[in-house]
Each structure stands twice: as structure tokens, then as C-alpha cells.
Amino acid sequence: MTEAAELPPAPEQARDVFGDRFADAVRYAELLAEAGVQRGLIGPREVPRLWERHLLNCAVLSEVVPEGVTVCDVGSGAGLPGIPLALVRDDLKITLLEPLLRRTNFLTEVVELLGLDHVTVVRGRAEEVMGRIPPVHVVTARAVAPLDRLATWGIPLLRPYGEMLALKGDTAEEELKSAATALAKLGAVETSILHVGEGIVDPPSTVVRVEVGESPGGVRFAAKRAKAARTGRARRRR
């Protein structure tokens, strides 16, 4: 049996980024390195670089998330980027959306242990939850799928004039170009590539921002969204 990799101490940047929540960030890192690895949510080789590659890399996404908005983290997995974002931004209302039971169990345990009252865990696929969760201002995602496929899941969950923020790597520009037609059909009106975390993570995190107009998901999802809204109103009247 291979010996488990040891979690390194938190870098100094983590104290600045997480502030009053630094102790909770350390506990989350420990949970990822222990239960996260044991349950197959994160690879053992990732443990030595948990801070730089995962926690800090995700936490700096907060630089481009507006104040006081609702967020849905699609395909949240082990909670990345949703939980680091929640630790640095208690002004946000965050939904961690994940279809696999073993992952949602882990997420629920983390949320309860860290006292993240502004975070909700929902089990389900993005294409299944329309009507179950209200449309959000911001959709986040990391390492879920290529941009064109991710957009078909994430954009329909947005409110009008919302935005999807996808953490990507070196392929960001190429993915954005190849997804241009699909994004336009889904109601995207503007796209951009942002770099966040300068001086905190090296290299800075790359974010693809996709902003939508008044019809997130395009014409294809308009009827589905209207039906979901009617169903929701009917349930509330009962």
C-alpha cells in the first residue's frame, strides 16, 4: 500500500486570503487530504499541492464575483471552487450542485462542520434541477467539462443578465473560440478571459467569463424555464 502524501503547511498567502476563516480553510484542506482521498474525491498526488493548486486557485475567483449575489457551483465534486469561495465570501448565497451521492455526503459534512450557513448542497445534474433551484446570478465550475458542454448545463441555470465563470487552464482561449457558436445559441452576449490571483498564485488563475442577455439558455430553454416557474408557483399555492 502506498503511503499517503503529507499535507504541507498553509502558505502565508492563505492567511491573507482566508482571513478570519483561515482555521476553517486549514480544516477543509485536512478533510480533503484525509477523507477526500480515502473516498476517491481527490487523488493522493494532489495532496502536496492542495493549497496552491486547489484552495488558493479557487479562492481567488472571488475577485470577479459581484457582491451579494446567488451562486451555483456546477459539478462541485469535492467542493472546488464552491467551498473556498464560500470561506472568503460570506455575502454570497452558494448552492453546491453535484449528482454523485458520495460527493454530496462529503460536501454536506464539510458545510456542517465549517458552519457555512450561506451554503446549500443539492444532489442532481444541472439539466435536472431547473425549477428545483431558483435561477442564480453566477454559475461557477472547475474541471467539469469542455466549455461548450459546460455551457449547456450551466447557462440555463442563470438569471437574465447573469454570468458563468469557469476556471480553466492553458486551453481557455482555444476552448472559447471553439465554443463561440454554441455560446451564441445559448444566449451569450459577451465573453472574456480573466486572470485572477496575481501575487497569490503562480501562475494566476484563468477564468472564462460568459455573460448572457435576457434569455439564458436561448430559445430552447425559454419554454422549459416558463413551465418550471409555473410548476413552482402551483406547488407554493398548495
Average pLDDT over residues 144-155: 93
Look at residue 167 and tell me whether its pLDDT is greater than 70: yes
Q: Do residues 92 and 69 lie in contact, with contact meaning Cβ atoms separated by under 8 Å?
A: yes
Say what the pLDDT of residue 1 is. Answer: 36
Look at residue 159 and tell me whether its pLDDT is greater than 60: yes
Say what the pLDDT of residue 2 is. Answer: 42
Q: Do residues 205 and 57 lie in contact, with contact meaning Cβ atoms separated by under 8 Å?
A: yes
Average pLDDT over residues 144-148: 91
- Residue 223 CA to residue 144 CA, distance in Å, equals 26
Say what the pLDDT of residue 148 is. Answer: 93
Average pLDDT over residues 139-165: 95
Say what the pLDDT of residue 76 is. Answer: 97
pLDDT digits (tens, 9 = 90+) for 47-81: 999 999 999 999 999 999 999 999 999 999 999 99
Banded model confidence at residue 129, pLDDT cuts 50, 70, 90:
very high
Lowest pLDDT segment from 8-22, 36-50, 161-175, 220-234:
220-234
Say what the pLDDT of residue 77 is. Answer: 96
